[in-house]
Amino acid sequence: MDSASNPWSAYREQIKMIKLTEARYLGDFQVALNFSNRQEGVFDGRMLLQRSGPLLEPLRTEAYFRRLFVDAGALCWPNGLELSPARLYEMCKKLESVG
């Protein structure tokens, strides 16, 4: 099956083009996200913190985790950690259309 007729490929292509437009810290490592396709969802940062690595260590304290911001359509932190909007979109729970 070629990629033009594969519905999964079309879906993946849509996700690749998505940008993050807004992020709001909700508390308890939960982040409300708005995407450029007018969908919104909640990202559970605790899933991310199950992994290890030098860029993740500072995020384990809630005071640092809440310093998140959006840059060039990605979710970022001051230490240089950047999460792609496509991956966040896949990981979000409660995705729904807004407006």
Given this model, what pLDDT does residue 49 score? 94
Whole-model pTM over 0.75: yes
Given this model, what pLDDT does residue 70 score? 98
Mean pLDDT by 10 residues, the chain (99 residues): 61 71 97 94 94 96 98 97 93 72
Given this model, what pLDDT does residue 72 score? 95
CA distance linking residue 65 with residue 44, whole number of Å: 12
Number of C-beta neighbours around residue 69 at 10 A:
10
Q: Does domain 7-97 have CATH number 3.30.2020.10?
A: yes
CA distance linking residue 50 with residue 71, whole number of Å: 24
Concatenate the DSSP letters of all residues of 32-65 into one string: EEEETTSEEEEEEHHHHTTS--TTTGGGGSHHHH
**Which single residue is written with the structure tokens 């995407």?**
35
For the chain, what are the domain ranges? 7-97
Given this model, what pLDDT does residue 97 score? 72
